Amino acid sequence: MTIEIGGVAGKSIQDTGDKSSVTGSNKSQAAPATSSRSGGWDKVSLTSSAMKLRELEDRIADLPVVDVQRVSDAQRAMATGTLELSEADAATNLLEIEKSFS
């Protein structure tokens, strides 16, 4: 996807107040921006890798934060008294989580 931005080279472009978003596709597109001060045109291109990353972000955002099946299994095990906890595993997991924060 290619976006053309109009403006004078070396000067910033003023905000026009238009907050519409631009979505991309794998096809090459050009969307010229209008400016009251015409000048040179700059081009911004998103690579196919950037487009794939954006798609992955969208798919990840749709995933649930909690594993419902795992929570259900843990609740059932606690209710029946069959939940097995290893103190050593819990301590190791807690240390790994703490390491990831630093």
Evaluate whether residue 56 is within a structural domain: no
Which residue segment(s) compose the domain that 41 sits in? 2-48
Residues 7, 43, single domain; the answer is yes
Domain co-membership, 42 together with 78: no
Which pLDDT value is given to residue 56?
93
DSSP structural state of residue 9: T
Task: Indicate the number of domains in the chain.
Answer: 2
63, part of any domain: no
Q: What is the DSSP string of 31-71?
A: EEPP-SS---EEEEE--HHHHHHHHHHHHHHTS-SS-HHHH
Taking the complete model, does pTM exceed 0.85, yes or no? no
Same domain, 44 and 75: no
Residue whose structure tokens are 């996807």? 1
For residue range 20-76, what is the model confidence (pLDDT) as tens digits? 555 444 444 444 555 455 567 888 777 888 889 999 999 999 888 888 999 999 999
